[in-house]
Amino acid sequence: MNILFIGDISGSDGIRAIKDNLAEIKNEFKIEFVIANAENTTEGRGLSKSDYEVLKKLGINFFTMGNHTWHQSDYSDVLSNDDIVRPANINNLSTYSKYGVGTRSLNINGIKIRITNLLGSSITFKNSENVITNPFIYLENLILNIEKDSFHIIDFHSETTSEKNAFLCNFKSKVGAILCTHTHVQTSDNRIVDNTAYITDVGMTGNSDGVIGAEPTTIVEMFKGERKFFKLSTNKGRYQFSAVVLKINNNICEEINRILIYENNIIK
């Protein structure tokens, strides 16, 4: 089985990248199932119901999310679907935990696949404390209580490369794939370690001319010391498409290969 995992879809350029490339990629790589991180899809923050429906029609089968899961007003409608997971390691006392689930078991063409979404401890929520529980402890407990015959894919949505590397060290051989997201820049360290496929960041599917998909003006001004804060808005222009392909056989990943397409300049 070949599974395509698409990194952080961001804004309208990200949707356009999906529209222009997904069908061809599915055909070329004989993809049987498509997963996408969609937490930045709607203007860079969250996933609206209308954008969710557009992405479904374009051929995405399943969605993972991240720290912007709850930004759009209709997030509860989106999270009520059975083809999406939001971060699992959310404090049960938090309002963020009241909708959706963080892990799902699927049967795809007779093969059991589990998909789990986790937030790294290095990510923070503004004006909120104790929202994120420890992702290492959460996954250790989950593994103890699930069936062992599924290929388990983790979308680890984390801020730092060190936390992502530590996650691999702790869970190699215990899960099928650790596909990290959030930092939007595709890394070239895709590899298989003790039967666990890994990449530090799958990359972003969105505008390629800004700052990790965002309009650069206020961000550049902040780094130059001309302002204290930046305004986050998606940039418009050329896109990039970032993803990885997992080749799975008998619940073991035999290959993890990167895809990086810049509009009008294809790199694979």
- Residues marked as catalytic: 68
Q: Rounded to whole angstroms, how far apart are CA atoms 204 and 121?
A: 21
Residue pair 204/10 in contact by the 8 Å Cβ criterion: yes
Per-residue DSSP letter, 141:
H
Residue at token pair 């397409």: 261
- Compute how many other C-beta atoms are within 10 angstroms of the C-beta atom of residue 197: 28
Distances from the Cα of 192 to the Cαs of 100, 113, 154, 234, in angstroms? 31, 18, 14, 34
Distances from the Cα of 262 to the Cαs of 97, 150, 166, in angstroms? 36, 34, 31
The residues that bridge with 180 in the sheet, in sequence order, are 156
Residue pair 10/47 in contact by the 8 Å Cβ criterion: no
Phi, psi of 95 (to 5 degrees): -65, -20
Per-residue DSSP letter, 182:
S
Residue at token pair 């409608």: 77
Residue pair 200/164 in contact by the 8 Å Cβ criterion: yes
